[in-house]
C-alpha cells in the first residue's frame, strides 16, 4: 500500500526504539523550522537593524496567542486519528481525516481575518516602543495572510504523525524552508523590503509546505486517503476533536496570553533587552522543539495503544518519554548556555544585546528539562483522552502563577528586574509538573477500571 513504509505500529515491539524512530524526524522537523525562523531574524538583524529585529521578535507572543486555539484542535485530530488507526476502524478514520482538513481551512481563514485586522491594535496595547510598532504591525499583517496554509500543514502533519509518519513532514518542511531562506535573502538584501520581505517569504514557504502535505494525503491509500470532493465537517468527529483539542488550544492561548503580559513587562526595559530576549527566545526554541517531539510521541503512542486496547503499555510509554525528554533537555539546554554568546552573535553584533540574551539563556535553558517533563505528562494525559484536567492544572500552575508573580514579586522594587521575570518560568514548571504527576496517578487508576471492563467485553 502506498505510504505504508512510512507508517508505524506503536502497539507492539520495543517502545524505546520506535519512539526514537518516531521522535528523531519530528525533532529534526522542529529544529529545521526554527532554523528557518531564525534565518528570518538573522537576516533582519544583520541587514535591517535592531529595530527590525525587535519588531519581528516582539510579535511571537501575539502570533502564538492568536493561533494556539486552532493549533490545539490539531492535537484533537492527532489523538482521534491515532485511536481509529490503532483500532483499524477505516470508515471512522476516513471521516476524521476529511473533517480535520476542512476544519484546518476554516480555522486558517478565521485567523487570517482576525490577525490582519486586529494585530496592529493589539501590538499597540503591548507597550511596544513607537520605533518598533509600525514595523511589527506590517510584519504581522503580511504573516497572517499565510494562516490558511499554516493550519493545513499543522493538521495534515498531525494526521501523518498519528499513523507514525514523521519523515515526510520533515522532507516537506525542509524543501519549503530552503525556499524561505532564499527568498529572505532576495527580498531583504536585494530588494530592501525589510520585515515585509521576511514575512512574505514565510507566507510563500507556508503555502508550499501545505501543498506538499495535501498532495501526500491525496496520493495515500486506505483510511488516511484524502478526496477533496469529500471535504466536509462530520459533526460527531468534529465534536470529538473539539473535546480533546479545544482544552489544549485554550491552554496554549492562555499560556500565550501570560507570555503577552510577560513580553509587555520585558518591553519596559527598552529595545536592547527586547532584542536580547527575542534572540535568546529563538535560540532556546531549538531545545524546546527537541523536547516537544517527546510530548508528541507520548500523545501518538498512548492514543494508538488505547485504540488497540494495549492498555498495559501506557505506563511504559510515559516512562520512556520522560527518560528521553530529560536527557534531551539537560544536554541541549546546557550546551546552549555554554555556547550562548557565539549563538547569539549570529543574530546581532551588539555586545549589549548579546549580554541581555545571555541572561535569559542562563535562567531558562539550564533547567529547561523541567518544561519538557511537564509537557510529557500532559501528552500522556491527552493521549488517554483526558484533556480538560491537564488544561486546568497547566493554567493554574503556569499561566496564573506567572501573572501573580508579575503582579506581586516583580512589583517589589528590589526585585523589579528582568531576572525576576525569567525566574518565573522554572518555578512554574516545577509546580505544574508535580501537579500533573498527581493527576496522572488519579486518571490512570480511574481509566484502569474502565479498561478492564472494555477488555472483558472484547
**Three-class DSSP labels, the chain:** CCCHHHCCCCCCCCHHHHHHHHHHHHHHHHHHHHHHHHHHHHHHHHHCCHHHHHHHHHCHHHHHHHHHHHHHHHHHHHHHHHHHHHCCCHHHHHHHHHHHHHHHHHHHHHHHHHHHHHHHHHHHCCCCCHHHHHHHHHHHHHHHHHHHHHHHHHHHHHHHHHCCCCHHHHHHHHHHHHHHHHHHHHHHHHCCCHHHHHHHHHHHHHHHHHHHHHHHHHHCCHHHCCCHHHCCCCHHHHHHHHHHHHHHHHHHHHHHHHHHHHHHHHHCCCHHHHHHHHHHHHHHHHHHHHHHHHHHHHHHHHHHHHHCCCHHHHHHHHHHHHHHHHHHHHHHHHHHHHCHHHHHCCCCCCHHHHHHHHHHHHHHHHHCHHHHHHHHHHHHHHHCCCCHHHHHHHHHHHHHHHHHHHHCHHHCHHHCCHHHHHHHHHHHHHHHHHHHHHHHHHHHHHHHHHHHHHHHHC
| Residue 3 lies inside a defined structural domain of this protein | no
Nearest-CA neighbor of 379 among 329, 426, 433, 456?
433
Return the pLDDT at 458: 53
Return the pLDDT at 4: 66
Return the pLDDT at 454: 66
Q: What is d(CA 179, CA 198) in angstroms, rounded to the nearest whole number?
A: 12
| Residue 228 lies inside a defined structural domain of this protein | yes
| Residue 421 lies inside a defined structural domain of this protein | yes
Return the pLDDT at 349: 84
Return the pLDDT at 2: 46
- Which residue stretches of the chain have pLDDT < 70? 1-4, 38, 61, 452-458
Residues 318, 320, 324, 327: is their CA dihedral positive or negative? Answer: positive
Nearest-CA neighbor of 95 among 252, 238, 254?
238
- Give 156-171 pLDDT, tens digit per residue: 999 999 999 999 999 9
| Domains in the chain, number | 1
- Domain containing residue 388: 12-457
The cell for 315 is 505506563
Core vs surface per residue 191-206: b (16+ CB within 10 A) or e? eebbbbbbbbbbbbbb
Q: C-alpha distances in angstroms, 200 versus 215, 231, 318?
A: 23, 29, 41
| Residue 28 lies inside a defined structural domain of this protein | yes
| Residue 6 lies inside a defined structural domain of this protein | no
The cell for 62 is 501575539
Q: Is 362 exposed, middle or buried (0-12, 13-18, 19+ CB in 10 A)?
A: middle
| Residue 4 lies inside a defined structural domain of this protein | no
Amino acid at each position: 500500500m502506498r505510504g505504508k513504509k512510512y507508517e508505524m505500529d506503536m502497539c507492539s515491539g520495543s517502545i524505546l526504539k520506535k519512539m526514537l524512530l518516531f521522535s528523531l524526524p519530528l525533532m529534526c522537523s522542529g529544529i529545521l523550522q526554527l532554523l528557518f525562523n531564525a534565518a528570518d531574524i538573522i537576516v533582519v538583524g544583520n541587514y535591517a537593524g535592531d529595530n527590525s529585529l525587535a519588531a519581528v521578535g516582539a510579535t511571537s507572543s501575539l502570533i502564538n496567542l492568536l493561533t494556539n486555539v486552532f493549533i490545539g484542535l490539531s492535537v484533537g485530530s492527532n489523538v482521534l486519528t491515532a485511536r481509529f488507526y490503532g483500532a483499524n476502524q477505516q470508515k471512522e478514520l476516513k471521516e476524521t481525516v476529511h473533517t480535520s482538513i476542512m476544519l484546518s481551512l476554516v480555522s486558517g481563514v478565521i485567523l487570517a481575518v482576525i490577525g490582519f485586522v486586529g494585530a496592529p491594535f493589539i501590538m499597540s496595547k503591548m507597550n511596544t516602543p513607537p520605533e518598533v510598532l509600525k514595523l511589527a504591525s506590517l510584519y504581522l499583517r503580511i504573516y497572517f495572510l499565510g494562516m490558511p496554509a499554516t493550519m493545513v500543514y499543522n493538521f495534515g502533519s498531525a494526521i501523518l504523525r498519528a499513523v507514525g509518519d514523521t519523515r515526510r513532514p520533515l522532507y516537506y518542511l525542509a524543501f519549503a524552508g530552503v525556499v524561505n531562506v532564499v527568498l529572505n535573502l532576495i527580498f531583504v538584501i536585494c530588494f530592501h523590503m525589510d520585515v515585509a520581505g521576511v514575512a512574505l517569504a514565510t507566507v510563500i514557504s507556508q503555502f508550499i509546505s501545505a501543498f506538499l502535505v495535501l498532495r501526500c494525503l491525496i496520493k495515500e491509500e486506505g483510511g488516511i486517503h484524502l478526496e477533496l470532493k469529500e471535504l466536509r465537517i462530520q459533526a460527531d468527529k468534529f465534536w470529538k476533536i473539539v473535546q480533546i483539542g479545544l482544552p489544549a488550544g485554550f491552554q496554549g492561548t492562555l499560556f500565550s496570553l501570560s507570555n503577552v503580559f510577560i513580553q509587555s513587562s520585558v518591553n519596559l526595559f527598552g529595545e536592547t533587552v527586547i532584542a536580547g530576549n527575542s534572540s535568546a527566545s529563538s535560540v532556546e526554541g531549538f531545545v524546546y522543539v527537541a523536547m516537544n517531539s517527546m510530548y508528541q510521541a507520548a500523545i501518538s503512542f498512548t492514543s494508538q495503544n488505547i485504540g488497540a486496547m494495549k492498555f498495559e503499555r501506557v505506563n511504559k510509554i510515559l516512562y520512556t518519554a520522560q527518560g528521553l525528554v530529560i536527557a534531551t533537555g539537560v544536554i541541549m539546554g546546557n550546551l546552549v548556555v555554554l555556547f550562548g554568546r557565539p549563538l547569539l552573535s549570529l543574530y546581532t553584533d551588539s555586545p549589549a544585546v548579546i549580554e541581555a540574551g545571555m541572561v535569559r539563556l542562563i535562567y531558562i535553558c539550564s533547567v529547561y528539562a523541567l518544561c519538557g517533563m511537564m509537557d510529557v505528562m500532559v501528552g500522556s494525559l491527552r493521549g488517554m483522552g483526558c484533556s480538560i484536567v491537564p488544561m486546568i492544572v497547566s493554567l493554574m500552575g503556569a499561566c496564573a502563577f506567572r501573572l501573580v508573580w508579575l503582579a506581586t514579586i516583580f512589583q517589589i522594587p528590589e526585585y523589579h528586574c528582568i531576572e525576576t521575570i525569567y525566574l518565573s518560568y522554572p518555578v512554574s514548571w516545577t509546580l505544574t509538573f508535580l501537579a500533573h504527576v498527581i493527576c496522572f496517578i488519579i486518571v490512570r487508576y480511574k481509566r484502569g477500571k474502565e479498561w478492564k471492563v472494555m477488555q472483558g467485553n472484547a
